[in-house]
Amino acid sequence: MTGKAQALYRRAREIIPGGTQLLSKRPELMLPEQWPTYYRSAKGAEVVDLDGNTFLDMTAAGIGATVLGFADPDVDAAVKAAIDQGSMATLNCEEEVQVAELFLELHPWAEMARFSRAGGEALSIAIRIARAATGNEVVAFCGYHGWHDWYLSANLAEDSALDGHLLAGLKPKGVPRGLTGLMQPFHFNNVEEVERIGKEFGPRLAAIVMEPVRSSEPTPAFLNAVRKLADQSGCVLIFDEVTSGFRINNGGAHLVYGIEPDLAVFAKAISNGFPMAAIIGRKKFMDSAQDTFISSTSWTERVGFAATLATLRKFRERDVSKHLQRIGRKVMTGWREHAAAANLPLEASGISPLGHFSFQVDGAQELRTLFTQMMLDRGILAGSSFYSMYAHTDEHVDRYLTATREVFLELKKAVDNSSVRQLLRGPVAHSGFSRLT
């Protein structure tokens, strides 16, 4: 079914270390040797692979980037217009200031904004600002925040520091050993760990970095504890809204929980897949960006700003987050109902637009691989996560859930007959990110 893709990916692995630029797009994580891997075109919620097969995409929405859907007509029109008017010049584009105004309007606590192009990169900028502003170096963190040295250095102290935060056993090779001991991990909703870090490292803290919400809702006690620690120690509370932003409301998710950080970082959703990231924050911290050196030619390019303006305007006009939540809830409810009907133990978690499930059986990874294979046979891209897009319609969800119901029944039969491995036409999927947030 996907002959061209398999040959191309084999070649890619020879000339591109790791095969792809983003771990989450590796086909081995979904369905080794069978996943379509490459797309020829993508529109709405559908993709066409290199062999001309069309699939309904019920996976992770461009890994969280295409919240409106693939090739959104309004965003793409704005981008094309920006290109026609010149996407790069020696002067700055006016959209830069317009995007800053829009972010500050949506987040009244923030007074200044900077921009870059990728989530992890923007987090690095936020950390640099926090370290410059406080003169401190220690960072308390929870969850995943990118690939840069400051983050990966968590694994220098002891190899397992990132276990449960990113990939178990992740190797920090290439990260200077001089960064050892600067990262202090804590778990989501764990007040005790936050307080312990405060006692041990309070005066040395530069920042606390976390997502305001991800797999579960934050408790008020947890949010109060991180805010209190930042206030008492004078460090910078940074909310990573790269994936949580613009999913449950029109702005950072923190607005819903009534807690104000000192800096917030956005990427992915804000520009519907065009590279763009924003760092917003209080003037007293953001101004420190001038006391260090944070600067790049590509951050001035016009397409990212034009895409962001068009995306954020559409979010507001169409009440996109409401749709994302409704579609996400429908999918999650379907998982639970169809698994229960098939007598297949399954746990669903995550906020509604960023849902996830896991089979609660021995050999769960084999079973999830078989689920993906059987859904692919039905023309649907599906894994254990579903990120809703504005382009996902009720008809898409109904088609997906009808297939899911059938497949769950077949999976149950395969578990009972111990034939899961036998039914797989290729290797079992590798397990990737196991974020424990």
Beta carbons within 8 Å of 177's beta carbon, 6+ residues apart: 156
The number of residues that bind ligand PLP (CB under 6 A) is: 12
- Give the CA radius of gyration of the chain: 22
The distance of closest approach from Cβ of residue 343 to ligand PLP in the complex, given in angstroms and rounded to an integer, is 34
Minimum CB distance to ligand PLP smaller for 2 or for 249: 249
Q: How far is the CB of 148 from ligand PLP (least distance, A)?
A: 9
Q: Which lies closer to ligand PLP via its Cβ, residue 198 or residue 261?
A: 261
What single string gives the DSSP state of each residue in 362-428? TTHHHHHHHHHHHHHHTTEE--SEEE--TT--HHHHHHHHHHHHHHHHHHHHHHHTT-HHHH-SSPP
| Residue placing its CB nearer to ligand PLP in the complex, 31 or 127 | 127
- The answer to whether 161 and 184 are in contact (CB under 8 A) is no
* Residue 239 beta carbon to ligand PLP: minimum distance, rounded to whole angstroms: 10
3-state helix, strand, coil in the chain (%, to 5): 45, 15, 40
DSSP β-bridge partners for residue 386: 355
Note whether 240 binds ligand PLP by CB under 6 A.
yes
- The residue whose two tokens read 């509370």 is 237
> Least distance (Å) from ligand PLP to the CB of residue 223?
17
Q: At closest approach, how far in Å is the CB of 108 from ligand PLP?
A: 23
Stretch that binds ligand PLP, among 156-164, 236-244, 371-379, 416-424 (CB under 6 A): 236-244
- CA distances 85 to 108, 126, 275, 314, Å, are 32, 32, 19, 22
Q: CA 141 to CA 435: how far, in whole Å? A: 13
Candidates 48-56, 91-99, 143-151, 183-191: pick the segment binding ligand PLP (CB under 6 A): 143-151
Among 114, 145, 356, 412, binds ligand PLP (CB under 6 A): 145
Site string for ligand PLP, 105-134 (x = CB under 6 A): -------------xxx--x-----------
Q: Which helix (H) or strand (E) holds 112?
A: strand 112-116
Near ligand PLP by CB under 6 A, which window of 107-115, 240-248, 368-376, 405-413?
240-248
Nearest approach in angstroms of CB 240 to ligand PLP is 5
Binding mask 196-235 for ligand PLP (x = CB under 6 A): ---------------x------------------------
Considering only residues 347 through 406, tell me which ones interact with ligand PLP, judged by CB under 6 A. none
CB 315 within 8 A of CB 250: yes
Residue 245 found at the interface with ligand PLP (CB under 6 A): no
Alpha-carbon span 49 to 31, nearest angstrom: 15
Shortest spacing between CB 146 and ligand PLP, in angstroms? 4
Q: Give the number of residues written for the chain.
A: 437
The residue with its CB nearest to ligand PLP is 119
Cβ-contact 132, 148 below 8 angstroms: no
242: contact with ligand PLP by CB under 6 A = yes
Considering beta carbons, is residue 259 or 407 the nearer one to ligand PLP?
259
Residue 224, H or E segment: helix 220-233
Please report whether residue 304 would count as binding ligand PLP according to CB under 6 A.
Answer: no
Helix/strand/coil for 220: helix
Please calculate the CA angle 106-111-114 and round it to the nearest 5 degrees. 90
| Residue of 35, 103, 141, 144 that binds ligand PLP (CB under 6 A) | 144
Q: Is 430 exposed, middle or buried (0-12, 13-18, 19+ CB in 10 A)?
A: middle
Q: By CB under 6 A, is residue 261 in contact with ligand PLP?
A: no
Q: Closest separation between CB of residue 267 and ligand PLP, Å?
A: 5
| Binder among 36, 44, 69, 146 for ligand PLP (CB under 6 A) | 146
- CB count, 10 Å around CB of 10? 11
Q: How far is the CB of 147 from ligand PLP (least distance, A)?
A: 7
User: Secondary structure of 225-237 in the HEC alphabet?
Assistant: HHHHHHHHHCCEE
Instruction: Kindly list the residues in this chain that would bind ligand PLP in the complex (CB under 6 A).
Output: 118-120, 123, 144-146, 211, 240, 242-243, 267
